[in-house]
Structure 1
Amino acid sequence: MLDAMMRRLIDPPLARMGRALAMRGVSADAVTLAGLVLGLSAAALIALGAPVLALVPLLASRLADGLDGAIARASGKTDFGGYLDITCDFLFYGAIPLGFVLADPAANGAAGAALLTSFYFNGATFLGFAILAERRSMRTEARGVKSLYFTGGLLEGTETIVFFVVLCLWPEGFVPLAWGFGGLCFFTAASRVVLARRVFPDE
């Protein structure tokens, strides 16, 4: 819901940084992988019981996630780069809830499993829509220039990052927050299915 607005704010400075890094020979794929390492480090810190400390690599990983696209646009986008980016994003999004489950399996296990299930469903509807959109040559830049067609929804990347930050600051609230956010993810995914039914009618 907030991604389009955030892109208007963050794209200009990211574009400048991306051009500067591209001129120095930094590759987009390297930044993507660095962002993944930072994100997995955040998940590991959460699992070890240091969620506040995990905020540093978590936010740094999201900066890298924005920079890799800016570098790619400056140096030339590749299909593999887009594939690597979305794959690393999905791994990051799953790793953070897993960190909270590992930190306290007895308390967080059920809520964490439900949250990951909602992520799985939401991700499937997102990628399935993108595949059909590509087949029909649909394009949008509402959420920045992407390798895939990005559909909107109640919950998008911005909301998910805010959710992760809140979890790190209030880990004791993981269970109710995970159930609530997971429910909204299910709603977002179901809404995307309804949208797909309208956009991709039977031929």
Structure 2
Amino acid sequence: MLDTHARKFVQPSIEHTAKWFLTRGMTPDQVTIIAFVSGIGTSVLYILGYPVAAVILLWLSGYLDAVDGTMARHTKSTPFGTVMDITFDRVVEVSMIVAIAYVHPGVLWPLLLLTVSIVISMTIFLVVGTVSEKAGVKSFYYQAGLAERTEGFILFSLMLLLPDILLWTTLIFFAAELFTGVQRFVEARKILT
């Protein structure tokens, strides 16, 4: 929801950073890899006991993930770049869940439910993007929903920083992802039948 409705407020900064990387000869794929390494670093820092540093690195990763897409729109994007970007995003999310489960094994079942809801929501998102004839500014049809990447980062940040309410933030995240999956499924039925 925030990615769809609030992006216009941060897009000038993203544009500026994208142009900065492009003038230095960097490619969108290189920035995707930097975002990926930063995202994985989040999990490592969390396991090592540095939750604040982990959250800062998580948001840097997310910011760079937006920058690489903007760079791709200013240059020639490749289908493999899209595959790499989406795959790396999911690996970062899964690594976060694994790191949280490692540090807090008492919430393993809610984290498993969260993982299932992410898989369901992303499956619908990717399949609709693939089979839809609609096009957007991205390289595929982008289905908005309640829980997009920014909401996920907010909830992951709360999970990392507030372990006393970890069970509840995990269950809220699970419910938001599941609701988003239902939203996307209902929209898919409308646009694809």
TM-score (norm 2): 0.94
Hey, what does 2:116 align to over in structure 1? 117
**Pick aligned residue for 1:139 from 135, 139, 164:** 135
TM-score (norm 1): 0.89
Given residue 15 of structure 2, which amino acid in structure 1 is its aligned partner?
Answer: A
Residue 72 of structure 1 and its aligned partner are, at CA, apart by 1.6
Hey, what does 2:125 align to over in structure 1? 126
CA root-mean-square deviation: 1.4
Hey, what does 1:166 align to over in structure 2? 158
Residue 48 of structure 1 and its aligned partner are, at CA, apart by 3.0
Hey, what does 1:3 align to over in structure 2? 3
- Counterpart contact for 1:130–1:150, Cα < 8 Å: yes
1:99-124 deviation digits (Å, cap 9, x = unpaired): 1101122x121111111111111111
Query: The residue matched to 2:6 in structure 1 has which SS?
Result: helix
Q: Is 1:86 equivalent to 2:86 in the alignment?
A: yes
- Counterpart contact for 1:28–1:72, Cα < 8 Å: yes
- Counterpart contact for 1:41–1:54, Cα < 8 Å: yes
Given residue 131 of structure 1, which amino acid in structure 2 is its aligned partner?
Answer: T
CA distance in 1, matches of 2:19, 2:49: 38
Gaps of 5+ in 2: none
Q: Is 1:25 equivalent to 2:25 in the alignment?
A: yes
Q: Is 1:99 equivalent to 2:116 in the alignment?
A: no
Hey, what does 1:177 align to over in structure 2? 169
Given residue 147 of structure 1, which amino acid in structure 2 is its aligned partner?
Answer: S
Hey, what does 2:188 align to over in structure 1? 196
Q: Give the length in aligned residue pairs.
A: 193
CA distance in 2, matches of 1:3, 1:67: 13
* Percentage of identical aligned residues: 29
Residue 168 of structure 1 and its aligned partner are, at CA, apart by 2.0
CA distance in 2, matches of 1:63, 1:104: 27
CA distance in 1, matches of 2:182, 2:73: 32
